[in-house]
Copies of this chain bind each other. A is one copy, B any other.
Amino acid sequence: MDKAVLWQLSYGMYAIGVKDGDRPSGCIVNTVFQITSSPAIIAISMNKDNYTHGLIAKEGIFTVSILSEETMPLVISYLGFRSGRDTDKFEKLEYQTDANGNPIVTDHICGYMQAKVISQADTPTHTVFFAEVTDGVKVSDLHPMTYEYYHKVIKGSAPKNAPTYQQKA
């Protein structure tokens, strides 16, 4: 198989927010997609080794902040390439907290959603969480950051737990 074909699939860039006790936590994912229209159900794919995975499994609710092309790369560095196990990922980031205590990124996002897990599907390395969107706000007309934009313009890479991770040759 020519693995390059998998890089031709299109994705966005999102920050998942979830609370860890009193501390905000979360991570970056590129796999958020709408599964059904009514009710609005989304799916996200997350590696089981991610600290955020355990927090979502425990809390059952999370936020999705939709990053734009104007969102600072720092947001992705802080949330995507460090673990919430031993760091306060949001310490240097602009964010607000929703009524449930989950963080929402506020740096040039397109919008955000609050979601409640209703079921999950297991794969060898990742869990796909299905979640009903309980609230959502469009906050700007900024252009959503695509995964392609992240790679080509920001020259970003994927951490090894990402569904789209590829080992360097």
Interfacial residues, chain A to chain B (CB-CB below 8 A)? 1-6, 8-12, 31-43, 45, 66, 110-113, 119, 121, 123-126, 128, 130, 133-138, 144, 146-148, 162-166
Once the chains are docked, how many angstroms separate the CA of A40 from the CA of B1? 10
Given A1-B136, A164-B34: A10 touches B40 (CB 8 Å cut-off): no
How many copies of the polypeptide does the oligomer hold?
A: 2
Q: Assuming A124-B39, A146-B146, is B32 touching A112 (CB within 8 A)?
A: no
Distance A163 CA – B166 CA, assembled complex (angstroms) = 29
Instruction: Answer whether A35 and B31 are a contact pair too, CB < 8 Å, given A111-B5, A135-B1.
Output: yes
Chain B residue nearest to A13 in the complex (CB): B10
Contact B41 A162 (CB under 8 A): no
CB-defined contacts of A162 to chain B, threshold 8 Å = 37
Asked if A165 and B2 sit within 8 Å, CB to CB, the answer is: no
